[in-house]
Amino acid sequence: MAITGIVMMAYADGFQGESIIGVAYAVGSASTSALYKVLFKMFLGSANLGEAAHFVSTLGFFNFIFISVTPIILYFTKVEYWYPFSAVPWGYLCGVAGLWLAFNILVNVGVVLTYPILISIGTVLSVPGNAAMDLVKHKMIFSVVRLGATIIICIGFLLMLLPEEWDEITLRFINSLKEKKSEDHADEIPESSVHTRSRSRANGTVSVPLA
């Protein structure tokens, strides 16, 4: 549902030129992020504070070793061009890096220190929060498609807050309702048969109900 919302967001902007490339990057990022979270839960499970800190440190080290080689390769293959260091907006880059570091620490360590549902709710609130910032700062008018995409993304996040055995719980609840309804129906049948006998005897005849 989150990927569907991303595609709908791009559809609202129009699939043109660089937009479709951005959609492909966004969908790929969402898919790999989902795979990362599933593998993290599968191999580490409920990690404690030390394990979470060790994992984040190791992840950052491997990113520095392997990912930092990518821009160097792109530079020497003439795919990218490096601007002079004085023209680089270092303030924005450092701000984004600091916020991204704080986000990863809060997500990975916050799950251990607080509750997973609290972190999930905070992630859900980031979607309408970004939309509110676009509306206030950039005066962006939300169309029906963009509003629907935001709602779909939020629903996708909220579905992740359901318990792990929510499907079995729902089925047991439905079955209990069916059993209760059948018991009530079975109790109504003898009562109706008693009323039938009493009315028949009052008329001088006796009828045996098939039920």
pTM metric for this prediction: 0.50
Question: Which phi and psi angles does 58 have, rounded to 5°?
Answer: -65, -40
What does the block give as tokens for 153? 């993304």
What does the block give as tokens for 108? 């990975």
* CA 51/CA 43 separation, integer angstroms: 12
CB within 8 A of 152, min separation 6: which ones?
Answer: 1, 2, 4, 5, 8
pLDDT tens-digit map of 20-75: 777 778 778 878 877 887 887 777 776 677 777 788 788 888 888 888 888 888 88
